[in-house]
Each structure stands twice: as structure tokens, then as C-alpha cells.
Amino acid sequence: MELNYGSSMEMSVVVREYDGERDLEEVEKLERNCEIGSRRGFSIITNMMGDPLCRVRLFPLHVMLVGVGVAEFVGVGEIVGVVRGCMKCVGTGLGAGNVWIGCILGLRVSPKHRRMGIGLKLMKSIEAWAVRNGAEYILLATDENNVASINLFSLKCHYVKLSSLAIFVQLTDTHPKIHAPSNDVAIEKLSIEQAILLYKDRLANEKFFPLDIDNILNEELSLGTWVSYYKGERWSGLHCKGKDGEFLNNTPSSWAVVSMWKTYDSYKFQVKATPLFRCIHASLKQIGPNFLHCLRIPLACKLPLKLFGFLFLYGLHGEGDNVRELLNSLWCFAFNMVRDVRDCKAIVSEVSLNDPLYAHMPWVSSTSCINDIWFFKRVGTSKGVMKGEENWVEMNPRVHCFVDPRDF
């Protein structure tokens, strides 16, 4: 597949579909050269562990496009940019309505070939792919500090800001005393069937809830789903082996739920630092984590300067007056579960700043927060929503947004 757009400058690059046999080595090299977030003295890069499609592969309909130079000033035959996309059917948060959305992620342009229109051309190509496959809306996200991407999405591609989300990050090498769940809280693992029933009953009407939640919970990367509640209360039907939803009607006065995703088995991050920063980093490590926190030293100062993976917590939900403590217990439970997993160095979750659950997220001294921005654009006829509700994305801002672990 080859797609051509725009000006003579853009014509110097041809966009085609990724071919694993001939493109793998070049794409991996491009990824290594493209930081996904940078601060003074260091940057973060992704390591796809030999599978550039890992963040979209679990969607039945997905694609990866590469931009290939066809003129000397970009390097003939050289891959100078990539972008990934996938399709999924999600809830609108308006009763039974659902829509098909295209998700764009992993847009990368070689540092030495930026400001040449390559990113815009890749965006037009992946949008065209999504529209051909029935997308009614397109969704994407970026770091709030990525000014270049924000300008590309909002000014050149006409995306509208949907929401700001907070990505909570906690390293697994912090002091164990910080992560002791309350002795008054019971934590139990649900069967996959119970988890599917619970999410469909409680979250099916939330924005971006995936209609194929059963596929997510049955994936190999899914570690499981756990609930927490107070031991002094009884959750009738929770231990029934059948698939009926009796336990859904007998919930305790307060309870919480979370699912866990083994992102560390899919891809990893790596912190790259300048020689001077590495020297400073080594010195700070000798001083100790408490001193780092007091000085508000950034997260990357504490991260290992090597590959590291993380456990992603998703499907967070809670009901009752004591959600905060019950969520905190689940967070501590997850922390203790993976702290000895060799490739897992952090636990991560993402929550909308407008979500009422945001106020109940666990905050300890070792928790860091990164702000993300979601953008969306309407590209087709909204067949899955009623007349007058076409702008469902902008309606009811203070509602839960389900974060899909497959394309995080």
C-alpha cells in the first residue's frame, strides 16, 4: 500500500505498510533514536523487544505504516518515520450507544528528518486507513510537554482536546513498609467470568469501554482481576463457581476492583542520560531516596539506566464511602506481587483528571505523576449514537474514561 499527499516536500517520502522481513532492523533503529519523553539531561526511549507491532497486535484490525525516503535530502530507501493504528468498538457513555474509533499511537519521525512534513503525511495516511475501515472518530494521546506533537495534532490535523489524564508511576524498589495493605481489608481474585460480568454491569455505560472486554481479560498478558472490601462485611455469592451474577447484587457497602496487565512482557522503557547526568545520577543514588524526594528530584533520577518494564493497573472502579483505603490496599497488593519480578521495576495506572476516582488514587512519597492529553476528531457518520448526541465525547466530562491496556 502506497499513499501520496501534498506538497513537493511531502512527495519526497512514500508511506507504505510495514514489512517485518525487510523493515524490522531499520524500525528498531528509528525507535532507539526517538525519545518518547525528555527532560534536561535524560530521555526515555522504548524497546519493543523485537516486535514493533506489540502495542497494536492484540487488536483484530491493526496496521503499522512506515515513511520511506525517495529523495536524496531524506535518504533514498531510508525509513524516516513510523505510525501505528488500530480499530475498536467502544461505549459512548450515553446508555447503549457505541461507536467505532481509530486509535493512533507510536508516531515517530527520525530526529534528523523533522520539520519536513513527514509527521503530517504519516498522520494523513493513518487517518485514511482508519476511515476506510469504518472509523467514526479518531483518538490519540501525547505528553502535555510535547509541544511539537500538540501543534501537529491541534493546528495542522484539527484535533480537539478531549481530556487531561494523570499517569501514576511508582517504582518497585521503594521501602516495603510503605506498601502494607490494611489488615482490615480482604483482597480476593475474581474468575475471568466474574470479572467480565462485573465490568459489563458497572462500566459498560462508561466512555471508551471496549465492547470486547472479554478478549482483554482472556489475554495472556492479563494477570487477573482483584476486588477489595472490609473483612467485617460479607460479599455473598463471591465464591460461587457458576457464571451467574448473584454477587453483583450483594456487594458490600464499600468495595473496589482493579485488573493487572503484564506490560513488562510486551515492551520496555530505557532511560538514556548524558555522561554528566550519569555522573550526577550515581552521586544522588549514594545520598538516598528520601533526600531525592525532599529536593523534588525528577522520576528519572531514580530510574535504572537500563531496560525496565512495568505492571499496568486498569479497570479501576470503586463504590462506597471508603473507596480510597480499598484502592490503596489493591495498589499495595499489586506492588508486593511484582516487586520480585525481574523485569518489572514500576507499577503504572492512568486516570482522567475529571474522573471522581482521581481524588481517591493512592499518593505516597514515592509516587510520581505524568500528565497526558487525549485528543479526538470526528471523521465519519456517527451511526452508533442518536441524533443530537454526535458530540458525545465532549458531553458529561466528569465521567470515568476506560483506559485500554492493550494500547497504553
What is the architecture of the domain spanning 12-163? 3-Layer(aba) Sandwich (3.40)
Kindly report, residue by residue over 281-336, the tens digit of the pLDDT: 444 344 344 433 333 334 444 555 567 899 999 999 999 999 999 999 999 999 99
Instruction: Kindly state the average pLDDT of the residues 196-206.
Output: 92
On the question of pLDDT at 104 being above 50, the answer is yes
Q: What's the pLDDT score for residue 175?
A: 55
On the question of pLDDT at 73 being above 80, the answer is no
Q: What's the pLDDT score for residue 35?
A: 66
On the question of pLDDT at 216 being above 60, the answer is yes
User: What HEC string does the chain produce?
Assistant: CEECCCCCCHHHEEEEECCHHHHHHHHHHHHHHCCCEEECCEEEEEECCCCCCCCCCCCCCEEEEEEEECCCCCCCCCEEEEEEEEEEEEEECCCCCEEEEEEEEEEEECHHHCCCCHHHHHHHHHHHHHHHCCCCEEEEEEECCCHHHHHHHHHHCCCEEEEEEEEEEEECCCCHHHHCCCCCEEEEEECHHHHHHHHHHHCCCCEEEECCHHHHHHCCCEEEEEEEEECCCCCCCCCCCCCCCHHHHCCCCCEEEEEEECHHHCCEEEEEECHHHHHHHHHHHHHCHHHHHHCCCCHHHCCCCCEEEEEEEEEEEEECCCHHHHHHHHHHHHHHHHCCCCCEEEEEEEEECCCHHHHHCCCCCCEEEEEEEEEEEECCCCCCCCCCCCCHHHCCCCCCECCCHHHC
Q: What's the pLDDT score for residue 306?
A: 67
The domain limits of the chain are 12-163, 170-275+288-373+391-407
The whole-model pTM stands at 0.84
